[in-house]
Amino acid sequence: MKKVSLFDVRNIIGALMVIYGVILFLASFATSDADKAKADGINANLWVGLSLLAFGALMIGWAVTRPIVVDQAQREADRRAVDEAAGRPVDDGGAGGVR
């Protein structure tokens, strides 16, 4: 059985970057002259905001056009192989603990 992974790191990166981009873009209109002077006259929030927005969109676009496919059967087989190789009793995932 194969399924498409929704929990794709590219979507997460993309979402955060888009949100940051929008906030910085909006904040750029409220950036005080004193703040602009600090950054040598550049409205840094504006340019960084736009770049993050573009980058985030690119990441989400990539995740949509080339999704990751998880092979469930392969994953189960891997899991058993690791247990056997390491000499641990093969259990049903009750190993617990934070690793």
Instruction: Give the interface with another protein as residue ranges (CB under 8 A).
Output: 5, 7, 9, 12-13, 15-17, 19-20, 23-24, 27-28, 30-32, 35-36, 38-40, 42-45, 47-49, 52, 55, 68, 70-71, 75, 78-79, 81-83, 85-86, 93-99
- Measured distance CA(53)–CA(63) in Å, rounded: 16
Q: Which two tokens stand for residue 99?
A: 């690793």
Single-letter residue type at 19: I
Q: In whole angstroms, how close is the CB of 50 to another protein at the nearest point?
A: 12
Q: Which is nearer to another protein, 64 or 82 (CB)?
A: 82
The nearest distance, CB 55 to another protein, in angstroms, is 8
> Largest Cα–Cα distance in the chain?
66
Report, in Å, the least distance between residue 35 CB and another protein.
Answer: 4
C-alpha dihedral, 44 to 47 to 48 to 52, nearest 10°: 170
Amino acid, single-letter form, for residue 32: S
